[in-house]
Amino acid sequence: MTLRTVPTKPFDDQKPGTSGLRKKVSVFQQPHYLENFVQAIFNALENCKGKTLVLGGDGRFYNRQAIQTILKMAAAAGFGRVLVGHNGILSTPAASCVIRKHSAFGGIILSASHNPAGTDGDFGIKYNTTNGGPAAEKITDAIYARTRYLQRYYILEADDVPLDTLGQTRLGEMRIEIIDSVYDYAEMMESLFNFAAIRQLCSGNTFNMRFDAMHAVTGPYAHEILEKRLGAPVGTVMNGTPLEDFGGGHPDPNLTYAHDLVETMFSAQAPDFGAASDGDGDRNMILGKRFFVTPSDSLAVIAANARLAPGYHRGLAGVARSMPTSMAVDRVAQALNIDCYETPTGWKFFGNLMDAGRVTLCGEESFGTGSSHIREKDGLWAVLFWLNILAVRQQSVEEILLEHWGKYGRNFYTRHDYENVDSSIAKDIMAQLHTHMATLAGKPFGTRRVAYSDDFSYTDPIDGSVSTGQGMRIGFEDGARIVFRLSGTGTEGATLRIYVEAYEADIAKHTQDTQHALADLIGIANQLSGIREKTGRTEPTVIT
């Protein structure tokens, strides 16, 4: 084996976003592109000699090839041990679990999350720190700075490492352990939830469910936990074999892209419970029989029922939500007399709060929910929490939601996504909105009057860091809100998201259609942004 120094030149497009670096597969396949970014990660880290690294991904195309390159570069960088998921598979929450359990220095996760996969699809890479969470901005900024002037990278010339055999091997002086991708994560879930009660629910004759793994990473986890450990019938897990192209689908667990599950759950013979997870396993969608649970409501219901799960029986230290997420959980926090934090979008913003013991539960409206058990959002964890609640309360999903709204009121909430918008048009829309922000306070729109409008900024209460430009907020005197935000998760064009929310205390109005209940606010949002005129779109790409 030979340590090789390879001359290279910087690429000008390697700035990580909120979830690492995401590009088309063809971009990563360029000579030196992946290697440059990996070397920049290693150069930005301090004292990784002899340390443990966790490595794995969601199984999408180019996952296995990238792992081989990273292993050889990790050996060249002097890591002492690398824990690699069997067949290169590690869901994002499982990777966080493994990092924390084995006190690893950090981990590299290969995923583009809910983005499409395949030879023409997307690929991604991000670094997670020793707490198991995504690297903070100061680290991603340091990585990006090093990509700007990188002149060489280091790699060990060696044969590829077999990824399909559990056990240990060596690459130069570095020990490699191919670990069971599911075991550590499944053991943690069993410690948090009442598996005996859930097993009785899932294996009985009066309850049935479906879980859609969307041919992505959660298939092996769901087969092991739901079907084997909890006794759900074989066939409960749909699309459970991970494929390099995710079966040609879009692995985003929403009403548009999880069409197989949605069709099943809204059929005449619908199961009692349905759920789906995304490409890398950190997102979730919850459905009852012909009933959709918004991610915001899901977070609020979990918070209100947290004590029903053994791992949370002592209650919650606090809760947190991203700014665009509805304020439903705020009402639960107020009733429980605990703090509720509003942060920018991006799971890394929850990390400091969890590390400081300020919050136990957190969530984002983009189908992400989690807790302090790890430092990533966790799709299957949320599914198990719902099963724990259903097993204890012996009610349907719809009954639980109606009772919840009856107690706390309902926050009607929707998100309209305009995907693959020309980037210049999207930026122009946001720039014009920014200009209007200062003039909206006190302005009437129909029966509503604007109370405030701003461009959301956040000061981290733990480390004092400031994040600006996090989305435009328009708040009305009756508590309704409209939020505009550009998403950074795609690789083509821009995704412009419009979030609309209104609170309703009247129980008689809780079952009305969401789009109807929010129609006037949706009209105001379209009027203020001019999105339909400027994009030529007559309707959003996705409505949730």
Alpha-carbon distance of 198 to 204, in angstroms, equals 10
Q: What is the identity of the amino acid at 169?
A: T
Output the six-digit token pair for 237: 């897990």
> Alpha carbon 233 to chain centroid distance?
28
Q: For 237, phi and psi rounded to 5 degrees?
A: -85, 120
Phi, psi at 242, each rounded to 5°: -65, 130
Using alpha carbons, list the distances in angstroms from residue 388 to 190, 287, 526: 11, 15, 40
> CA dihedral defined by 389, 394, 395, 397, rounded to 10 degrees?
40
- First-last CA distance in the chain: 53
Q: Cα(115)–Cα(66) distance, rounded to whole angstroms? A: 18
Spatial separation of the C-alpha atoms in residues 284 and 261, rounded to whole Å? 12
Render the burial of 243-254: b for 16+ CB within 10 Å, e for the rest. Answer: bbbbbebbbbbb
Q: Name the residue type at position 90.
A: L
User: Of 19, 91, 111, 113, which residue is the catalytic one?
Assistant: 113
Give strand pairing partners of 170. Answer: 175
Instruction: Report the alpha-carbon distance of residue 500 to residue 518 in Å, rounded.
Output: 7
Give the closest residue to 278 by CA, choosing from 209, 345, 215: 215
Q: Mark out the alpha helices in 250-310 (DSSP H runs).
A: 259-265, 295-304
d(CA 219, CA 227): 11
Q: In what order do the strands lie in the sheet with 368-371?
A: 339-343, 318-322, 361-364, 368-371
Residue 434, classified by CB atoms within 10 Å of its CB into exposed (0-12), middle (13-18) or buried (19+), is middle
Q: Is 113 a catalytic residue?
A: yes
DSSP string, 438-474: TT-TT-EETTEEEEEEEE--EE-TTT--EE----EEE
Q: Show which residues are catalytic.
A: 113
